[in-house]
Amino acid sequence: MYSTQPAGPHHDNQGFQHDTGRPPSYNQVQGMYPAVSQWSPQPVDTRSTTVTQAVRRKEPKSGVNCKYVLCGLAAFVLIALVVGVLIWYFAFYQDTTGKSCQSGKDLSASQWCDGVKDCQRGEDESQCLRLYGTNFVLQSFSAASQTWRPVCAERWSDNYSRASCKQMGYSSTEYMSYTQTGAGSLGTGGYSSLKPGLESGGLIQSYLTDSQTCTSNNVVSLRCIDCGVSETGTSTRIVGGTPAVSGAWPWQVSLQYKQHFCGGTIISKDWILTAAHCFPEPSDPSTLSVYYGGILLSQMFTRASVQRIIVHEDYNTDTDANDVALLRLRSPLTFTQDVRPACLPNVGVNLNPERQAWTTGWGTLRSDGPSPNNLMQAEVTIYSRDRCNQPEILNQRVTETMICAGKLAGGVDSCQGDSGGPLVAKEGGVWWLAGDTSWGFGCALRNKPGVYGNVTYFTNWVYKQMQMRF
């Protein structure tokens, strides 16, 4: 997509508006941002949010003008106070109370993920299972050791698998299968093993106990959903891109209010992931339609209704941080060769920078240019955050909630109307959703790669929203 340099960064489209037609176009270890950490389960945040109209990014304000000596003294005193408070907090308060429920109730660290719901809303037991790596190894968080451990496959069954997937947020109708795989280095810290004589029916962690060994050395590999599968290879390559063929990107959807205004990605039968800035103001979900299963906008007749629009509670219109949203569909999709989900990134999946990825959408072919009828695709390079934040590129605008991808030489990029659509990368034989199209300087300009929401960073938030329906 070709363009001239605009005055400042902009979103790739204006977003959803009522009573209008098509919105007018306008101008972590150092890995993919951030590096995946061994996070501990956190409380679920159920606060409602109000999203305001997206605005242009503001430049940082200059510092306060004061005498050097007084400023230095004040800074020293302030730093000393902060350090003192932090030492007190972590040395005393943290050790004695562990974590707190949303209601304010204090729990010890050992009460999180112990199989007993001690918080009124159950947030202490909501983030206790996860999938690891391209083998989809099931891991459970150990309350005793405060570490993630692979689940030993001995005496495991489909019943436990279905219960685990439901607990993570997937519908039981999406369940695919489980297999056994070698533990490898994941087992060096011990395992989570089934207690003898128990049948599934409650929280999975209540049936697990810490074990230093797993007799078979095999652990559970769990596929909760048949994701990341494309029947058609990427033999052709959005500006600087080419038309996609049917079935190549079966997770791509078009969000429409009378006409296409944003893209999105199928992540399950009930959920679409898109960008927060597509909804710059609270919107009635009943007026929004999700079209799917095709590549030609003029011939997309299959649509789904939206039950709820969930915008990230920390989305910031000034910095564009946390530019992600979820759409909860009224009725589940039926998966076919042309309708399938992309995989949410598992912990440990290698989506590091300097790798190739693909971006797709029905956005304009150049800045303020015409929109295509055919879905377009382009191969881009994911760059490190440090490289993107160099002064001549994006000058410190890329935060940990973002990734940047494109071609520094220019000529290939997403553009206006692509917002919310997928950036996917293939690893271990499946396609992972690395980003959602967010903002950029023009389209396909030299040293101005596109910026995407960092789905790896958002994965825990996504699962929390998916779990809240159960």
* Tally of CA atoms within 13 A in the half-sphere of 405 that contains its CB: 32
Contact between 303 and 312 under an 8 Å Cβ cutoff? The reply is no
Query: What pLDDT does 84 receive?
Result: 52
Query: What pLDDT does 27 receive?
Result: 31
Active-site residue identified among 114, 419, 436, 438? 419
Active-site residue identified among 206, 277, 338, 436? 277
The C-alpha atoms of residue 40 and residue 113 are separated, in whole angstroms, by 10
Per residue in 132-150, pLDDT tens?
Answer: 999 999 999 999 899 999 9
Query: What pLDDT does 11 receive?
Result: 58
Long-range interactions of 34-40: CB distance < 8 A, separation 24+? 34/400, 34/454, 34/456, 34/457, 36/347, 36/348, 36/456, 38/147, 38/148, 39/460, 40/112, 40/141, 40/146
The C-alpha atoms of residue 15 and residue 327 are separated, in whole angstroms, by 15
Structure letter (DSSP) for residue 77: H
The C-alpha atoms of residue 254 and residue 249 are separated, in whole angstroms, by 12
Strands of 16-123 (E only): list them: 99-100, 106-107
Token pair listed for 127: 């983030």
Token pair listed for 416: 């206006």
Give the chain's residues under pLDDT 50: 1-7, 12, 14-31, 34-40, 42-73, 77, 83, 85-97, 235-239, 470
Contact between 323 and 308 under an 8 Å Cβ cutoff? The reply is no
Active-site residue identified among 12, 114, 270, 323? 323
Query: What pLDDT does 217 receive?
Result: 94
Query: What pLDDT does 10 receive?
Result: 52
Task: Identify whether 449 is preceded by a cis peptide bond (ω within 30 of 0).
Answer: no
The C-alpha atoms of residue 379 and residue 424 are separated, in whole angstroms, by 10
**Catalytic (active site) residue 436:** no
The C-alpha atoms of residue 111 and residue 118 are separated, in whole angstroms, by 7
Helix (H, G, I), strand (E, B) or coil at 290: strand
The C-alpha atoms of residue 389 and residue 401 are separated, in whole angstroms, by 13
**Catalytic (active site) residue 419:** yes
Query: What pLDDT does 9 receive?
Result: 54
Query: What pLDDT does 104 receive?
Result: 82
**Catalytic (active site) residue 114:** no
Token pair listed for 303: 């649509």
Of 102, 44, 50, 55, the closest CA to residue 310 belongs to 50
Helix (H, G, I), strand (E, B) or coil at 181: strand
CA distance readout (Å), 378 to 25, 181, 240, 415, 423: 20, 35, 7, 11, 10
Query: What pLDDT does 202 receive?
Result: 80
Of 426, 353, 439, the closest CA to residue 394 belongs to 439
Query: What pLDDT does 125 receive?
Result: 86
Integer distance in angstroms from the first to the last C-alpha of the chain?
43
